[in-house]
Structure 1
Amino acid sequence: MDCRVVVEAAVPVYDVSTADEAVRIAISKTGEMLNPDLNYVEISMGSRDCPHCADELEPAFIAADEGLVALELEMTVFNVERDEHAARIARKEIGKRLKNIPLEVLEIEVLEEDEEEAEAAETSETDSDGEDDDEVLPEFEELIDE
């Protein structure tokens, strides 16, 4: 089974004056730490909620020209047994590159294979159309189109 895992990271930034600047620097800093090994991880702004009211706060907290930014890191983990297994893999892979940055798993979504695509793949494997088996290019092009 394949899973999409969203992990929240608290990224510290220094010498910033606004929340927007802190977010831009945090995204850039995180991208540098993840690339080139994990260039498939999507980085986006996180969200914070006020504990006393239902208002949504900015993703960055600034004090004394230093900030702490909430970012969401999303990656797909393939061939796992359970969703907890996917969460452990995502935290380990991201955590190796983001040293001293706390991570928390926010969401785990199981990605289901489209049943029609699975049936089509099985059918195409078992069909024999009488064409020459040495011809590999048409099958390769079909895989790319998917």
Structure 2
Amino acid sequence: MDCRVVVEAAIPVYDVETADEAVRIAISKTGEMLNPDLNYVEISMGARTSPDGEQLTPAFVVADEALVALELEMTVFNVEREEHAARIARKEIGQRLHDIPLKVLRVESLEEDGDVRGDGDGGEAGRDAGRPVHGTDAAEEELLPEFEEMVEDERERDR
């Protein structure tokens, strides 16, 4: 089974004046920490709400420092249970985001044709931006020789 896992991260940002600036810096900082090993993880702003249900900005700024809520999405392949997918995603992301609090928000099972099964809103249907993290994938074996050909073609153009 393949699963789409969404993890929430609390990213600290320093020397910022506005929430928008804090979000931009947090996304950039997170991208740098994840790349190149996890460049297939999608980074987006997190959603925060007050106890009354009011929408809040994803960044909380005080004294030129901010804490930014980000959502990190990745696909985990060839797992037996959703809990296993959540542990794998949290471990893979956590190894690169040292001292960053992480919380698994949701895990969605992907059907064989790429559709999301379960509580998802259907917005993930047909999307497969992740790479195998666990196990092997037959499509990956077919893509590697093609990738090598592309690299060789690029090298020849540079000569």
Say whether the fold is shared (TM-score over 0.5): yes
Find the residue that maps to 2:13 and give its secondary structure.
strand
* 1:30 and 2:30 aligned: yes
TM-score w.r.t. length of structure 1: 0.77
After TM superposition, the structure 1 = structure 2 runs for residues 1-146 of structure 1, keeping only pairs within 5 Å, are 1-51=1-51, 53-114=52-113
Cα distance, 1:54 vs structure 2:
1.6
Residue 41 of structure 2 aligns to which amino acid in structure 1? V
Residue 21 of structure 2 aligns to which amino acid in structure 1? E
Q: Which runs of 5+ in 1 are unaligned?
A: 116-139
CA-atom RMSD in angstroms: 1.6
Give me the whole-angstrom Cα distance separating, in 1, the residues matched to 2:113 and 2:91: 29
1:126 aligned residue: none
Q: Which runs of 5+ in 2 are unaligned?
A: 115-141, 147-159
Give me the whole-angstrom Cα distance separating, in 1, the residues matched to 2:18 and 2:113: 44
TM-score w.r.t. length of structure 2: 0.71
Question: Among the aligned pairs, what percent are the same residue?
Answer: 79
Q: Any idea what the Cα deviations from partners look like across 1:11-41, whole Å, max 9, x if unmatched?
A: 0000000000000000000000000000000
Give me the whole-angstrom Cα distance separating, in 2, the residues matched to 1:12 and 1:25: 10
Give me the whole-angstrom Cα distance separating, in 2, the residues matched to 1:89 and 1:59: 25
Q: Could you list the runs of 4 or more consecutive aligned residues of structure 1 that deviate by over 6 angstroms after TM superposition?
A: none
**Rg larger in structure:** 1
Cα distance, 1:80 vs structure 2:
0.3
Find the residue that maps to 1:16 and give its secondary structure.
coil
Q: Any idea what the Cα deviations from partners look like across 1:75-101, whole Å, max 9, x if unmatched?
A: 000000100000000000000000000
2:123 aligned residue: none
Give me the whole-angstrom Cα distance separating, in 2, the residues matched to 1:80 and 1:39: 21
